[in-house]
Structures are given as C-alpha cells and as structure tokens.
Structure 1
C-alpha cells in the first residue's frame, strides 16, 4: 500500500511539475516529505529532471564574506554571532582591502556572485558607508555580481543599495511563519517579509531561504516551502542546522541525511524555476556524498569555500565535482 501511494505521489508530481511547470502545493509537499526511504532515489531523480527542464544544467557558484562578524543584538537561536549567547564568535570588522581580496579569491573559482554579509539587526550609517566603499573598490578591480545580506532594511536603505548596483539581496525567512517565534523573539517573521517586499519593488533580485532541522515539524517544513513559493524569490539558499556551541540550538541533533535529501527534492518540486542553493550544514548533514546527491536531486547553485562561522568543503572540491557531473558554471553575463 505504501509503495503504491509513493508511486501515485511521484506520478502526480511528474505531471504537475515536470510536464506543466506548476509547483507542488503545501499539502503535496508534505506528501513528498512523508515518502518512505525506498522512494528516495526515484524522488531525487524526478527533482533532477525538473531542475534540468526548468532551470537547465548550469550551476551558479557564489562566495560569501562577513564584513561585520559577531555582536549581533538579535537572538536567532541557531546563530553563534548573537551577542546574547555564550558562543565563541566575537565582534570584528573586515577592512576594504581584505574585502576586495576575498572577492578576487571568489572570482578565481569561477563564481559569478559575491555576497557581503553583516551580523546586524539592520545596517547603521557606518555599515552602509563601509558597504558602499567596499562595492566601489571591488568594482575597480574585477567584474562580479555583488549581493548583500545586511539584515532588515528601511525604504531609504533599500534605495541606497539599489543605487550602489547591488544585484541581489539576501534576507532569509529562516523557517515557517508558524515556527518562527521558536527561533527568534527579538523581531518578527513579518518584519523580514516586509524587507523582502521592498527589495523586490526596488528591482533587486530576492534571495530568501532558511535552515532546516531546527526542531520544526515536517508539516512546518512543507508550510515553509509553500510560503517561499508565495514569495517567489529568485534564489533559495537551503541550509541544514549545524548546531553551534553556546546557542539555544547547540544541543539539537543534526538532521538525518534521508530527511535532508527529501527536503532538497521537495523544495525543488515546490519551486521548479528557482535557483536552489546548497548552503551551510550540508557537509555535516550529508557527508561526502551530499554535494553529488543534492546536485543530482534538484540543487543548481552552491556556496563555495567556508561559510560565515563554519567550515565548508574546499572550493576546488565543488568545482571538480561540477566538472565530473558535466554541469557548467553559469557565466557572469547569464546572471545580469
């Protein structure tokens, strides 16, 4: 009975998503997330077909760097950069020459996107000035798309970033609306949504994803996928919780590999045309085979190198894997 139900779910997804390009609904995503492990391989294969049909074989490569690290006033329970927790990350700023060098190293990997990140509730005047100077210095040295992730924005700040030529703005909703109060108490899900709305109106691309494995239910994971589909972001970075010592989520068990891969495939089936990016936690959750299985299961973008406070795979390892899988790196002019 379970086998026939799995076949039915996948058949419906094939007709609806692969053939018609219509993403799965919240209830359908939940059905996918509840599939037995025996259905995982055909599920990943279908998600890969969807990715190839609606996005193509190219993979977008991105590097990230923290301009301002640690000392954040918010209480995001997964984050060791919060100044409210007994975690090892302490406040530090990156100077402009180091920021330019990080962009150069990112570009050498073939990456087309470089994201400047700051651990803040929202940018101060000092931070906005530093970002403007950094972007100008990077543009003097190389040709790469520049993204930013600076927390919640005012309307004036959105306009400033757009005027700087910021290509894409990242602001993660992190989790389902119904679960958000269990993750953050110092601001609301709706405040994040409003920043994303203004970013889109200003003409910047919207990058919005979250973290899976923070104690949310499978139903809330499906809710999150549906809420992202409603938002319609250009990119969804999919992180898996890497529990950080000293944070409220520091003792949570990492998500199992099968659940993580089911989530990758389900998000692809909910968002057939979206850039779905492997981000933090994949090394811990999926192990050495994670990059291969994800890239053959719906993912079409990666962050190369290290993350903000955790280590990633060597950039060369991901680039070599893309070559082995015959997946070309998306050219810069294809992202403009």
Structure 2
C-alpha cells in the first residue's frame, strides 16, 4: 500500500517561508490563509505578528491626513462620497495654506512623522499643483514632518514637480483587485492607476498603495489584490475597510465581518512581510476597539490618527494610548521601518 505525502499546513509553511526567510506568499497561498477556519484565527494572527516583528520591528509609524480639496470629484469611485456624480452630503471645499500648516503642526504634536495632503480630483490641474507647492514649502519651513501627497493620477511632468518639491511619499491606491476594479470604478482604469505608481517609483518617491476591503470582492479577488500590491513593491499599504457612505452605489453593502477583516490583515502581512501595513479608514466601524488591538497584534505596523477625509476616526490619544499599552514605540522622524 502506498501513501500520499501529507500536505504542509499553510501556517507551518508561513513560518518557514515568510517568517524564517522573509519571502511573501503568492496569490494561491494567500487564498489558503483567507480560507482558514475561524477557530485558527488566533494562531494566524500570532504568526502574522511574528512576521511583522521579524521583518519590520516593533516601531509603529503614525500619520495624519488632511484634505486640501474636498468633494466635487468627476470620477465615479462607487465607495466615495466625494464624487460629484452621487447625491452624497459631502460638498466641495478647499483649504487655505495657513490652515494646511496648522493641520501639519497638530499632526506633528501627536508624534506623527508623516503628513499627507489629499485632494479629491482625477488628477491635479495647474492651480492645484501651485497650491500643493506653496503648501509643501510652508510646511517644510515651519514643521518637522515628512510630507506626502495623494492627488490622483499624474503626468510625468507632475511627478517630476512633486519630487522636486521634496514630497517624501505619494499615495495612489489600486483600491481592489484588477479583475474587480470595473465593478468599483468606470471612469478610469486600473492600468491608469498602475502607470502613475510606476512613474512615482522611478522618480525616487516612496510608493503608498493600498485599497478598500469589503466592496463585494470574493476571497479569490482579495488574494489577487494582495498579489497585485506585491507586484507594485510599495513602501506602504494602507488597508481600508468599506464604511458604506449614504448616496454612493455601495451605500447598502454590509460591513465586513470582523473575523474576515482580521484574516485579511494577517494574510496581507504574509503576502507583504517587509511593507508598512497601515490601519486606515473604516477600522472603527469594522473592528471596534478589541479588533483594533488584535489587528495591531496581527500584522499592522502603522496607523492614521484622527479623522479621515469624510468620516470620523478614533481620537489620536486613543490610538497612542493603545500603542503605549502594547509597548510598541512610535517611529521617530528619520528612522526606517
């Protein structure tokens, strides 16, 4: 009688391949992780935390964000209340430079090392680029903090301009798996977003690229998304969870179950062992306080503190107190994770 060899358990494989050797899981392995039964969640989170500690260390990067231009966006991202195509309560508004500098100062007071200027646009026009240039210069003159930007899709000239301004990191999310993207956005393509990321990387800026989980994607597409992100080789991946916004096409979608969200956090850590994995929007409604603690002990090593663009976040002090309680030091300016 012959016996088939016993298949290696996926978490044993994670301990060997990802924890010991630092090689991230591919799409198929990530899918196995996402399919683990709930009773193995704590074990999974433990392995993901070990990976984070081994390849990123205990430091947590803290970031604040502010919207320079809110609302009135011409794109139809189905999750976003800033689209001018939907009947949402968000109205168009712009922030002046003194207010931008004050927001950066308040962010720096929390211990944050990163401040991101965001605009709800398809891509920046000359007026917006001039505002960003003035804002970056004013912040650099008055605040000891790194400046990031998220301004939509860019031309090569705009990429070069941002690099010359001293922008440290550029955020442009792929949002979801390539195969699911047409169900989320129809006014531009996944490939257009990817091209902006390519130019940003080649210009020497750090790449911040993540997305939103819980937008109707399958587990297979969630694993595909992790592999898509790995192909970009991002310095940072912000993980958002859908907070269904009134007036948007996704307003009636259900919030992602907490076990699914935690499995996704751990799975993305196993796919991206050396990457800054940041808690971003929707974690409050999806995970709550206990889930946030589990996420930080399950692969997360960065947080956005304070409010998001159109939704309220946790108080900065709440997150900072949690990090103290978990004995996780905040990354200092100039350190790398």
Report the TM-score when normalising by structure 2. 0.97
Alignment of 1:320-331 (within 5 A): 320-331=321-332
CA-to-partner distance for each residue in 1:263-315, whole Å, 9 max, x for gaps? 00000000000000000000000011122111100000000000000000000
CA-to-partner distance for each residue in 1:181-240, whole Å, 9 max, x for gaps? 000000000000000000000000000000000000000000000111111100000000
- Structure 2: state its 5+ residue gaps: 1-5
Instruction: Name the structure 2 match of 1:241.
Output: 242
Query: 1:318 aligned to 2:319?
Result: yes
CA-to-partner distance for each residue in 1:89-126, whole Å, 9 max, x for gaps? 01000001100000000000000000000000000100
Instruction: Name the structure 2 match of 1:27.
Output: 28
Partners of 1:291 and 1:335 in 2: CA distance:
23
Q: CA contact under 8 A between 1:291 and 1:318: conserved in structure 2?
A: no
RMSD over equivalenced CA pairs, Å: 1.1
Partners of 2:23 and 2:140 in 1: CA distance:
39
Query: What secondary structure sits across from 2:118 in the alignment?
Result: strand
Alignment of 1:99-138 (within 5 A): 99-138=100-139
Partners of 1:105 and 1:255 in 2: CA distance:
32
Instruction: Name the structure 1 match of 2:41.
Output: 40
Partners of 2:336 and 2:38 in 1: CA distance:
36
Partners of 2:70 and 2:20 in 1: CA distance:
45
Query: What secondary structure sits across from 2:42 in the alignment?
Result: helix
Instruction: Name the structure 1 match of 2:3.
Output: none
Query: 1:214 aligned to 2:215?
Result: yes
Query: 1:202 aligned to 2:197?
Result: no
Q: CA contact under 8 A between 1:162 and 1:204: conserved in structure 2?
A: yes
Partners of 2:103 and 2:169 in 1: CA distance:
18
Alignment of 1:1-336 (within 5 A): 8-335=9-336
Partners of 1:19 and 1:64 in 2: CA distance:
35
- Structure 1: state its 5+ residue gaps: none
Report the TM-score when normalising by structure 1. 0.98
Structure 1 runs (4+) deviating above 3 angstroms are: none
Query: What secondary structure sits across from 1:334 in the alignment?
Result: coil
